[in-house]
Amino acid sequence: MLRIAVLDDYQYAAATYADWSRLPESVEVVEFADHLADADALVRRLAPFDVVVAMRERTPFPRAVLERLPNLGLLVTTGGRNASIDVAAAAERGIAVCGTGAHPPGTAELTWALVLAVARHVTEEDAAVRAGSWQHTIGTDLAGGTLGLLGLGRLGERVARIGQAFEMDVVAWSANLTDERAAEVGVRRAGSTDELLEAADVVSIHLQLSDRTRGLLGARELGLMKPTAILVNTSRGPIVDEAALVHALREGTIAGAGLDVFDVEPLPRHSPLRELRRAVLTPHLGYVTARTYEVFYRDAVDDVAAWLAGSPVRVLEA
Protein backbone atom coordinates (compact mmCIF):
# COMPACT_ATOMS: atom_id res chain seq x y z
CA MET A 1 0.00 0.00 0.00
CA LEU A 2 1.24 3.47 -0.92
CA ARG A 3 1.06 5.83 2.04
CA ILE A 4 0.56 9.61 1.85
CA ALA A 5 1.23 11.97 4.78
CA VAL A 6 -0.56 15.34 4.77
CA LEU A 7 1.36 17.60 7.14
CA ASP A 8 0.38 20.55 9.34
CA ASP A 9 -3.29 20.22 8.43
CA TYR A 10 -4.39 22.16 11.51
CA GLN A 11 -8.10 22.10 10.61
CA TYR A 12 -8.15 18.63 9.00
CA ALA A 13 -9.00 20.49 5.80
CA ALA A 14 -7.43 18.12 3.27
CA ALA A 15 -10.31 15.67 3.46
CA THR A 16 -12.86 18.46 3.08
CA TYR A 17 -11.38 20.37 0.16
CA ALA A 18 -10.30 17.57 -2.19
CA ASP A 19 -11.56 14.21 -3.38
CA TRP A 20 -8.79 11.80 -2.39
CA SER A 21 -10.97 8.87 -3.45
CA ARG A 22 -9.87 9.64 -7.02
CA LEU A 23 -6.61 7.90 -6.15
CA PRO A 24 -6.35 4.09 -6.32
CA GLU A 25 -7.81 2.06 -3.45
CA SER A 26 -4.31 0.90 -2.55
CA VAL A 27 -3.45 4.43 -1.35
CA GLU A 28 -3.74 5.40 2.32
CA VAL A 29 -3.95 9.11 3.24
CA VAL A 30 -3.03 10.17 6.78
CA GLU A 31 -3.61 13.75 7.96
CA PHE A 32 -1.53 15.25 10.76
CA ALA A 33 -3.03 18.27 12.52
CA ASP A 34 -0.04 18.95 14.77
CA HIS A 35 3.28 20.53 13.89
CA LEU A 36 6.59 18.80 14.59
CA ALA A 37 9.52 21.20 14.87
CA ASP A 38 12.01 18.52 15.96
CA ALA A 39 13.76 16.94 12.98
CA ASP A 40 14.20 13.54 14.65
CA ALA A 41 10.52 13.35 15.53
CA LEU A 42 9.62 14.38 11.98
CA VAL A 43 11.81 11.66 10.46
CA ARG A 44 10.30 9.02 12.73
CA ARG A 45 6.82 10.09 11.72
CA LEU A 46 7.48 10.18 7.98
CA ALA A 47 9.68 7.08 7.68
CA PRO A 48 6.80 4.79 6.54
CA PHE A 49 5.44 7.23 3.93
CA ASP A 50 6.01 7.26 0.17
CA VAL A 51 4.44 10.67 -0.46
CA VAL A 52 4.37 13.82 1.66
CA VAL A 53 2.04 16.77 1.09
CA ALA A 54 3.47 19.83 2.86
CA MET A 55 1.42 22.93 3.68
CA ARG A 56 3.49 25.83 2.41
CA GLU A 57 6.67 26.32 4.45
CA ARG A 58 5.32 25.14 7.80
CA THR A 59 7.67 22.12 7.83
CA PRO A 60 11.14 22.56 6.28
CA PHE A 61 12.74 19.77 4.24
CA PRO A 62 16.51 20.40 4.25
CA ARG A 63 19.03 17.86 3.00
CA ALA A 64 19.54 16.49 6.53
CA VAL A 65 15.88 15.45 6.70
CA LEU A 66 15.51 14.22 3.11
CA GLU A 67 18.55 11.94 3.47
CA ARG A 68 16.80 10.11 6.31
CA LEU A 69 13.59 9.36 4.39
CA PRO A 70 14.51 6.43 2.13
CA ASN A 71 10.89 5.60 1.24
CA LEU A 72 9.98 9.10 0.09
CA GLY A 73 9.34 9.29 -3.65
CA LEU A 74 7.18 12.42 -4.02
CA LEU A 75 7.11 15.68 -2.06
CA VAL A 76 4.21 18.00 -2.88
CA THR A 77 4.11 21.53 -1.52
CA THR A 78 1.00 23.65 -1.68
CA GLY A 79 1.68 26.80 -3.66
CA GLY A 80 4.02 27.39 -6.56
CA ARG A 81 7.28 27.83 -4.63
CA ASN A 82 8.74 26.73 -1.32
CA ALA A 83 12.07 28.07 -0.08
CA SER A 84 12.17 25.57 2.81
CA ILE A 85 12.65 22.54 0.52
CA ASP A 86 16.15 21.63 -0.65
CA VAL A 87 15.12 20.76 -4.19
CA ALA A 88 18.67 19.86 -5.27
CA ALA A 89 19.04 17.38 -2.42
CA ALA A 90 15.67 15.85 -3.29
CA ALA A 91 16.68 15.45 -6.94
CA GLU A 92 19.91 13.70 -5.93
CA ARG A 93 17.84 11.14 -4.04
CA GLY A 94 15.32 10.68 -6.85
CA ILE A 95 12.53 12.43 -4.94
CA ALA A 96 10.13 14.27 -7.22
CA VAL A 97 9.17 17.72 -5.91
CA CYS A 98 6.19 19.61 -7.23
CA GLY A 99 3.78 22.40 -6.32
CA THR A 100 0.20 23.46 -6.81
CA GLY A 101 -1.72 26.46 -8.02
CA ALA A 102 -2.93 29.16 -5.64
CA HIS A 103 -5.72 31.69 -5.12
CA PRO A 104 -4.01 35.10 -4.83
CA PRO A 105 -6.53 37.44 -3.13
CA GLY A 106 -6.47 35.94 0.36
CA THR A 107 -3.29 37.51 1.71
CA ALA A 108 -4.12 40.96 0.34
CA GLU A 109 -7.55 40.78 1.97
CA LEU A 110 -6.05 39.76 5.32
CA THR A 111 -3.56 42.62 5.03
CA TRP A 112 -6.43 45.07 5.03
CA ALA A 113 -8.21 43.23 7.84
CA LEU A 114 -5.08 43.82 9.93
CA VAL A 115 -4.70 47.44 8.85
CA LEU A 116 -8.28 48.20 9.84
CA ALA A 117 -8.10 46.18 13.06
CA VAL A 118 -5.07 48.16 14.22
CA ALA A 119 -6.23 51.55 12.93
CA ARG A 120 -9.65 51.26 14.59
CA HIS A 121 -8.56 49.26 17.67
CA VAL A 122 -11.03 46.50 16.76
CA THR A 123 -9.70 43.76 19.03
CA GLU A 124 -9.31 46.08 22.01
CA GLU A 125 -12.80 47.56 21.66
CA ASP A 126 -14.35 44.14 21.02
CA ALA A 127 -12.89 42.90 24.31
CA ALA A 128 -14.09 46.04 26.11
CA VAL A 129 -17.65 45.72 24.84
CA ARG A 130 -17.76 42.05 25.88
CA ALA A 131 -16.56 43.12 29.35
CA GLY A 132 -19.42 45.63 29.64
CA SER A 133 -17.45 48.76 28.79
CA TRP A 134 -17.86 51.35 26.02
CA GLN A 135 -15.54 53.49 23.83
CA HIS A 136 -11.93 53.70 25.00
CA THR A 137 -9.99 54.52 21.83
CA ILE A 138 -9.85 57.03 19.01
CA GLY A 139 -9.26 55.58 15.56
CA THR A 140 -6.78 56.52 12.87
CA ASP A 141 -8.12 57.86 9.57
CA LEU A 142 -6.81 56.16 6.42
CA ALA A 143 -8.23 58.51 3.76
CA GLY A 144 -5.70 61.21 3.02
CA GLY A 145 -2.87 59.22 4.59
CA THR A 146 0.10 57.54 2.93
CA LEU A 147 0.36 53.80 2.38
CA GLY A 148 3.94 52.59 2.03
CA LEU A 149 4.46 49.23 0.35
CA LEU A 150 7.69 47.30 0.66
CA GLY A 151 7.29 45.20 -2.48
CA LEU A 152 5.06 45.78 -5.47
CA GLY A 153 4.63 42.31 -6.93
CA ARG A 154 1.30 40.55 -7.40
CA LEU A 155 0.31 40.89 -3.74
CA GLY A 156 1.68 44.39 -3.35
CA GLU A 157 -0.29 45.53 -6.37
CA ARG A 158 -3.54 44.16 -4.91
CA VAL A 159 -2.88 45.92 -1.62
CA ALA A 160 -2.06 49.14 -3.48
CA ARG A 161 -5.33 49.15 -5.38
CA ILE A 162 -7.33 48.68 -2.19
CA GLY A 163 -5.35 51.50 -0.60
CA GLN A 164 -6.27 53.72 -3.51
CA ALA A 165 -9.93 52.83 -2.95
CA PHE A 166 -9.47 54.08 0.63
CA GLU A 167 -8.25 57.37 -0.89
CA MET A 168 -4.70 56.87 0.32
CA ASP A 169 -1.59 58.13 -1.42
CA VAL A 170 0.48 55.03 -2.21
CA VAL A 171 4.27 54.90 -2.35
CA ALA A 172 6.29 51.72 -2.93
CA TRP A 173 9.87 50.50 -2.76
CA SER A 174 11.80 47.36 -3.59
CA ALA A 175 15.34 46.82 -4.78
CA ASN A 176 14.26 46.20 -8.37
CA LEU A 177 11.22 48.48 -8.59
CA THR A 178 11.27 50.84 -11.57
CA ASP A 179 9.38 54.07 -12.17
CA GLU A 180 7.64 52.37 -15.09
CA ARG A 181 6.34 49.50 -12.92
CA ALA A 182 5.18 51.94 -10.23
CA ALA A 183 3.37 54.00 -12.84
CA GLU A 184 1.55 50.89 -14.12
CA VAL A 185 -0.05 50.53 -10.69
CA GLY A 186 -0.56 54.26 -10.23
CA VAL A 187 1.82 54.61 -7.27
CA ARG A 188 4.98 56.59 -6.60
CA ARG A 189 8.37 54.88 -6.29
CA ALA A 190 10.28 55.79 -3.15
CA GLY A 191 13.99 56.38 -3.59
CA SER A 192 14.85 54.23 -0.57
CA THR A 193 13.35 52.31 2.33
CA ASP A 194 14.20 55.26 4.58
CA GLU A 195 12.20 57.64 2.41
CA LEU A 196 9.21 55.28 2.46
CA LEU A 197 9.34 54.69 6.22
CA GLU A 198 9.53 58.39 7.00
CA ALA A 199 6.54 59.22 4.79
CA ALA A 200 4.11 56.36 5.43
CA ASP A 201 1.20 56.25 7.85
CA VAL A 202 0.80 52.54 7.11
CA VAL A 203 3.76 50.34 6.12
CA SER A 204 2.88 46.95 4.63
CA ILE A 205 5.46 44.30 3.74
CA HIS A 206 5.15 42.23 0.54
CA LEU A 207 8.70 41.04 -0.10
CA GLN A 208 10.07 37.52 -0.34
CA LEU A 209 12.39 36.44 2.45
CA SER A 210 16.00 36.26 1.24
CA ASP A 211 19.47 37.09 2.49
CA ARG A 212 18.86 40.62 1.24
CA THR A 213 15.53 41.14 3.01
CA ARG A 214 16.18 39.26 6.27
CA GLY A 215 16.26 41.86 9.05
CA LEU A 216 15.40 44.64 6.58
CA LEU A 217 13.51 46.51 9.28
CA GLY A 218 15.57 46.77 12.44
CA ALA A 219 15.69 49.25 15.29
CA ARG A 220 17.09 52.04 13.09
CA GLU A 221 14.46 51.58 10.40
CA LEU A 222 11.57 51.31 12.85
CA GLY A 223 12.86 54.50 14.45
CA LEU A 224 12.30 56.33 11.16
CA MET A 225 8.56 55.62 11.23
CA LYS A 226 6.08 58.17 12.53
CA PRO A 227 4.90 57.56 16.12
CA THR A 228 1.38 57.45 14.65
CA ALA A 229 2.29 54.88 11.98
CA ILE A 230 1.18 51.26 11.67
CA LEU A 231 3.31 48.33 10.49
CA VAL A 232 1.69 45.27 8.87
CA ASN A 233 3.55 42.10 7.97
CA THR A 234 1.80 39.29 6.08
CA SER A 235 4.97 38.22 4.25
CA ARG A 236 7.61 36.51 6.42
CA GLY A 237 8.46 37.19 10.05
CA PRO A 238 12.28 37.47 9.79
CA ILE A 239 12.03 40.45 7.44
CA VAL A 240 11.43 42.45 10.63
CA ASP A 241 13.76 42.27 13.65
CA GLU A 242 11.21 40.88 16.12
CA ALA A 243 13.04 42.08 19.24
CA ALA A 244 13.30 45.60 17.81
CA LEU A 245 9.61 45.55 16.95
CA VAL A 246 8.66 44.45 20.47
CA HIS A 247 10.73 47.35 21.85
CA ALA A 248 9.11 49.86 19.47
CA LEU A 249 5.62 48.71 20.44
CA ARG A 250 6.40 48.77 24.16
CA GLU A 251 7.88 52.25 23.95
CA GLY A 252 5.15 53.56 21.66
CA THR A 253 7.56 54.74 19.00
CA ILE A 254 5.07 53.35 16.47
CA ALA A 255 1.32 53.25 16.99
CA GLY A 256 0.74 49.56 16.35
CA ALA A 257 1.41 46.46 14.28
CA GLY A 258 -0.66 43.83 12.53
CA LEU A 259 1.29 40.59 12.30
CA ASP A 260 0.36 37.37 10.51
CA VAL A 261 3.90 35.97 10.39
CA PHE A 262 6.61 35.42 13.00
CA ASP A 263 10.21 34.32 13.42
CA VAL A 264 9.05 30.99 14.86
CA GLU A 265 5.70 29.45 13.92
CA PRO A 266 3.51 28.49 15.65
CA LEU A 267 4.26 31.49 17.86
CA PRO A 268 5.93 30.31 21.10
CA ARG A 269 3.65 30.41 24.13
CA HIS A 270 5.88 32.87 25.99
CA SER A 271 6.52 35.25 23.10
CA PRO A 272 6.43 38.87 24.33
CA LEU A 273 4.29 39.75 21.33
CA ARG A 274 1.35 38.02 23.02
CA GLU A 275 1.38 40.65 25.77
CA LEU A 276 1.33 43.76 23.59
CA ARG A 277 -1.99 45.55 23.24
CA ARG A 278 -0.61 47.59 20.35
CA ALA A 279 -0.25 44.40 18.25
CA VAL A 280 -2.99 42.47 16.46
CA LEU A 281 -1.82 38.90 15.89
CA THR A 282 -3.16 36.25 13.51
CA PRO A 283 -1.70 32.73 13.04
CA HIS A 284 -0.38 32.95 9.45
CA LEU A 285 -3.87 33.07 7.95
CA GLY A 286 -3.02 34.92 4.73
CA TYR A 287 -3.63 31.92 2.48
CA VAL A 288 -6.04 30.10 4.80
CA THR A 289 -9.29 30.51 2.86
CA ALA A 290 -11.79 28.06 1.41
CA ARG A 291 -10.98 28.84 -2.22
CA THR A 292 -7.24 28.65 -1.62
CA TYR A 293 -7.54 25.27 0.09
CA GLU A 294 -9.73 24.00 -2.74
CA VAL A 295 -6.93 24.82 -5.18
CA PHE A 296 -4.14 23.55 -2.92
CA TYR A 297 -5.58 20.15 -2.13
CA ARG A 298 -7.26 19.54 -5.50
CA ASP A 299 -3.94 20.15 -7.24
CA ALA A 300 -2.10 18.03 -4.66
CA VAL A 301 -4.36 15.08 -5.52
CA ASP A 302 -3.73 15.76 -9.23
CA ASP A 303 0.02 15.77 -8.58
CA VAL A 304 -0.09 12.42 -6.79
CA ALA A 305 -2.26 10.91 -9.52
CA ALA A 306 0.12 12.15 -12.23
CA TRP A 307 3.15 10.78 -10.37
CA LEU A 308 1.49 7.39 -9.93
CA ALA A 309 0.69 7.33 -13.65
CA GLY A 310 4.24 8.26 -14.59
CA SER A 311 3.09 11.58 -16.07
CA PRO A 312 4.88 14.95 -15.61
CA VAL A 313 4.17 16.71 -12.31
CA ARG A 314 3.73 20.41 -11.70
CA VAL A 315 7.22 21.91 -11.34
CA LEU A 316 8.01 24.37 -8.56
CA GLU A 317 8.65 27.97 -9.53
CA ALA A 318 12.24 29.17 -9.16
pLDDT (tens digit per residue) in 78-107:
999 999 999 999 999 999 999 999 999 999
CA distances from 232 to 153, 193, 205, 301 (A): 16, 15, 6, 34
CB 239 within 8 A of CB 233: yes
Q: In this predicted model, what pLDDT tens digit does every residue of 270-280 receive, in sequence order?
A: 999 999 999 99
Q: Calculate what percentage of the chain has a pLDDT beyond 70.
A: 100
Give every CB contact of residue 127 below 8 A, 6+ residues apart in sequence. Answer: none
DSSP lists the bridge partners of residue 54 as 77
For position 313, what pLDDT does the model report?
85
pLDDT at residue 318 is higher than 80: no
Q: Of 121, 158, 188, 284, which is the active-site residue? A: 284
d(CA 21, CA 4): 13
3-state secondary structure of 284: coil
> pLDDT averaged over the chain?
96
The whole-angstrom separation of Cα 187 and Cα 141 is: 20
Q: In what order do the strands lie in the sheet with 279-281?
A: 188-189, 169-173, 146-150, 202-205, 230-233, 256-259, 279-281
Q: Is 270 an annotated catalytic residue?
A: no
56 labelled catalytic: no
Cβ atoms within 10 Å of 247's Cβ, excluding its own: 15
CA dist., res. 195 & res. 225, Å (int): 10
Q: Is 236 a catalytic residue?
A: yes
Contact 15, 63 (CB under 8 A): no
Distances (CA, A) of 104 to 9, 40, 41, 44: 20, 34, 33, 35
Cis amide leading into 312 (omega within 30)? no
The pLDDT-based confidence of 317 (bands split at 50, 70, 90) is confident
**Of the listed 28, 109, 198, 265, which one is catalytic?**
265
pTM of the model: 0.94
What's the whole-number mean pLDDT along residues 148-164? Answer: 97
Confidence of residue 312 (pLDDT cuts 50, 70, 90): confident
Alpha-carbon distance of 274 to 272, in angstroms, equals 5
pLDDT in tens, 6-60: 999 999 999 999 999 999 999 999 999 999 999 999 999 999 999 999 999 999 9
**Contact, 115 vs 168, CB < 8 A?**
no
pLDDT in tens, 186-206: 999 999 999 999 999 999 999
Contacts of 38 (CB under 8 A, 6+ apart): none
Q: How large is the average pLDDT for residues 148-167?
A: 98
In this predicted structure, the answer to whether residue 314 has a pLDDT above a threshold of 90 is no
H or E segment at 264? none
Catalytic residue among 189, 221, 236, 242: 236
Q: How far apart are CA 27 and CA 40, in angstroms?
A: 26
Name all domains of the chain by residue range, CATH numbers in brackets: 2-103+289-308 (3.40.50.720), 105-281 (3.40.50.720)
* Confidence band for 254, pLDDT divided at 50, 70 and 90: very high
